[in-house]
Structure 1
């Protein structure tokens, strides 16, 4: 039993009819076009993932730089502690 109740012989007959209708050159061209489309899709997906990764790294670096450049004023923290005691 093949795919979904279709036997291997039925699949071979359908394949033979397709080859007779379209010819091997046209099928080869369609296969090449389909392969190129899949390759382009995979490349676009990997480019998108690398762009997202780089954007998150840049965001992390920006947050770290802003945290380093912002000094903590200890006088304001001590005033708040004194106000809490009152």
Structure 2
């Protein structure tokens, strides 16, 4: 259905949206979208850093078997 829009169709849609909403609202909306993308990227970077820090702190597996059971084995 939307496979044949092309450049003239996209330009027409952009002009109609600009006329309906005005330059100010579109500018504000794009600013909020930019802030959202920046926040998302920051969250991804913090998550990756947290995972790296966690993997560095866990070097080896620890034996958590109670001392009583270790004597039996």
Could you say which structure has the higher helix fraction? 1
Distance 2:13 2:44 in 1: 34
Q: How many pairs are equivalent?
A: 61
Q: Return 5+ residue gaps in structure 1 as ranges.
A: 67-86
Which residue of structure 1 aligns with residue 33 of structure 2?
A: 34
Cα RMSD of the aligned pairs, angstroms, is 1.7
2:3 match: secondary structure: helix
Question: Which entry has the higher C-alpha Rg, 1 or 2?
Answer: 1
Distance 1:36 1:13 in 2: 27
- List, as ranges, runs of 4+ consecutive aligned residues in structure 1 with deviation greater than 4 Å: none
Q: Return 5+ residue gaps in structure 2 as ranges.
A: 63-73
